[in-house]
Amino acid sequence: MQFRTKGVQIILASHPVPALPKSIRPVLVAFFLLLSLVTSALAQEKFATYPPLPAGAGSIKVFDRDGRFAGRILPAGRYWVPISQIPGFLQNALVAVEDSRFYEHNGIDIKGIARALMKDVAKGRMAEGGSTITQQLIKNKYLSSEKTLDRKLKEGMLAMDFEKKYSKSQILEMYFNEINFGNGAWGIAQAARLYFDKTPQEMTEAECSLLAGIPKAPARYNPLGDPAKVALRRSVVLKRMVELKMITPAQRQSISAHPATVTKPGKSTYYLAHIKAKLIERYGAGIIEQGGLDVISAMDLKLQTLAEETLRTGVRKISPKLQGALLCQDPATGDVLAAAGGVDFAQSPYDRAFSAKRQPGSAIKPLIYAAALEKGFTAGSMMNDTPVAYNRGNGKSWTPLNYEKTLFGELSLRQALAHSNNVIAVKLLDEITVPYFTGFAATLGVHLQPQNGLALALGAQEVTLSELVSAYSPLASGGLRPEPRTIIRIYDQRRRAWTEIPPVVAPVLAPGTAYVTTQMLKDVMTYGTAKSLKKFSQERPSAGKTGTTDDYRDAWFVGYTPQLITGVWVGYDKPKPGGRGFTGGAISAPIWGRFMRAALASKPAVDFVKPDNVVTVSIDPTTGFLASPGCPQKRDEFYLIGTEPTQYCPKHGGNLLNPPEPVQPLPGSEAVPPASDGGKAPGADGQQPGADGQPPAPEGEQPQAN
């Protein structure tokens, strides 16, 4: 006695079986049924090469802050779908267009081979192979795609062997789970999810007709390809089904009249990749395969699209080999409105906005100046940029130099910051001390190592673009630092519950310090290293700072208005010089300007709010003293109450004038002790200040800035 179940032959005996008592027959039937199930499971186990598709698995949908669909985060794993869960319409459609004699041949189709051979002879090359579904499966699993006679012979032999081992339904099941459906989708589970956000069981006839047409040329006929070519291929599938009487002409017409809706891929790929990382951080890696979440992100989809386009155009205009990043944040809430981590996600998905650490160059200097203001220095404090040698130990010294070795002499801190003066930045850091500054920077979210010493003033330690933008936020928001936020809330479809992620904001800087630093940074955009943005700054109150690292390797610009703060980095992934002129002011500032002009187009121009404990006095900017009638140059300068100069400029007759009455602190505000008479900072007489620690700048290299 023998019987066959799902292609597995079971021989029980080779001789007649005697009649059995009726009482034993039910037991024997149950035994055979159990044996059938076991053998079926064993056969299934042999060819199912991936875990079964989990019930209820789905994608994670991401929306922007206004509810606009931004994209999906898809499961990364491959899953096996049994033939019973693959729509019969899809099975018929595939057989009709790929191998209409599938249920008749033994793995190779002689008629098909003859037909293909005639076409090959006519074209003078191997254009068609007459491959059956079984042969295609064999080629996909075991062989290369080269068009040679030897490969075709191997393919045919293996196909016939396959047909002896497996049933037609098993072969078809393997085919659907192994074949390439384009755009990185392997197998029917990934294809259904990618193109329609469904499981295979949920697909409509219109959707099935699209997928059936893909295997012939996945890159050309996948649903995200050229619409005309995809529609033509679908028509071929339906026409063939009519010819084989699998559907009626009326069904064909109905399906054609109601085409499938394809789920378009999200464009905000860098942002979505970061959302994916945050979800894994929150829920564990399994959440991506499980899915079932709706994520409301902090993204503004319009700004995200603008950021990607502006960065791509700006960087490739310079060189197609360059990379870059742009990150835009709401300074009040920390919401990351846009984040482009590179110029092309498909070519390089590495996120340079959140992950890449590079030296910031002079873009770190505003933090030093803000720290100095907190220590009693003022925007009008005078310092000399005569180079000074610092002892590095072991008989070695380090002498910081200005960009292109330019010397200015006596400068106010306002002017020194605008011109990105290296010598004064190092002297200022030395005055406030490295330990104080690293502690101050940590409160702003930038964790610097004290052992880097005075070289920190020139951006010797690497940071991410996100960290730097976040550190500037208190300057734009009156001293409040929000944690960067990319997810606002999450809806769990299984639990039917929302999880809110509120902003986290903390005061880290005196409002007056933030305001005065911002007023100093405005000059960067009018006559300083980002003067190309002067027109923008005249239209909208704004502030910012450039950064250029040694040998022109990295170009930075971080700038802000009261509404938005945006940072731009441009450079090579493998650091190398960009050439003379590859500076933050020339490379990154224009990209920033184009983005911010468009991003703020619909918003009113507003200025930064001046705190009550900030006063304005007229000074001589060449001396830092109060302006006397004889001073040829005068300007209004901002001071925290108690730090403003109290003497008139002695250089222009001010010593003959009586000092003004000091401004009294307002109730509830604290006065800051003045730095010294005339606002001149300690150690600003050009003599070498005592060094706290040894600057670790690499020997032979001079970090530069602009």
Other Cβ atoms closer than 10 A to 647: 18
Tokens matching residue 165: 């081992």
Q: Are 686 and 384 in contact (CB under 8 A)?
A: yes
CB 59 within 8 A of CB 290: no
Full 3-state SS string of 339-378 = EECCCCCCCCCCCCCCCCCECCHHHHHHHHHHHHHHCCCC
Q: 189 and 201 in contact (C-beta within 8 Å)?
A: no
What whole-number distance in Å separates Cα of residue 191 and Cα of residue 76? 12
**Beta-carbon count within 10 A of 248 CB:** 11
Q: For residue 71, what is the enclosing H or E element?
A: strand 69-73
Helix (H) or strand (E) holding 485: none
Catalytic residue among 98, 155, 431, 644: 98
In whole angstroms, what is the distance from residue 162 CA to residue 555 CA? 60
Cβ(297)–Cβ(275) under 8 Å?
A: yes
- Helix, strand, or coil (residue 346): coil
Locate 140 and state its tokens: 């996909």
The three-state DSSP-derived secondary structure of 381-446 is CEEECCCCCEEEECCEEECCCCHHHCCCCEEEHHHHHHCCCHHHHHHHHHHHCHHHHHHHHHHCCC
The answer to whether 371 and 672 are in contact (CB under 8 A) is no
User: What's the CA gap between 693 and 684, in Å, rounded?
Assistant: 19
**Rounded CA gap, 472 and 442, in Å?**
12
DSSP conformation class of 150: H
Within 8 A by CB and 6+ apart from 647, the residues are: 625, 626, 654, 655, 659, 677, 678
Beta bridge partners of 4: 9
**Residue 537 known to be catalytic:** no
- For residue 392, CA distances in Å to 248, 397, 399, 697 come to 88, 5, 10, 9
Comparing C-alpha atoms, which of 683, 226, 126 is closest to residue 428?
683
Which of 131, 362, 412, 420 is catalytic? The answer is 362
Look up 362 and say whether it is catalytic: yes
**Pick from 525, 545, 547: nearest CA to 535:** 525
DSSP 297-338: ES--HHHHHHHHHHHHHHHHHH-TT-EEEEEEE-TTT-BEEE
Q: Among the residues of 492-609, which ranges form H helices?
A: 511-522, 534-539, 589-599
Separation of alpha carbons 27 and 602, rounded Å: 81
CA-based max dimension of the chain: 135
DSSP 165-199: HS-HHHHHHHHHHHSB-STT-BSHHHHHHHHHSS-
Surface-to-core class of residue 20, CB atoms within 10 Å of its CB (0-12 exposed, 13-18 middle, 19+ buried): exposed
Q: Quickly list H helices, 465-607.
A: 465-476, 511-522, 534-539, 589-599
SS3 (DSSP) at 635: strand
Q: What CA–CA distance (Å, rounded) separates 300 from 310?
A: 15
Q: Are strands 554-560 and 543-548 parallel, antiparallel or unpaired?
A: antiparallel
Cα four-point dihedral sign 270, 275, 281, 284: negative
Return the residue matching tokens 């302006």: 627
| Cα 622 to chain centroid, rounded | 46
Q: Which residues are designated catalytic?
A: 98, 362
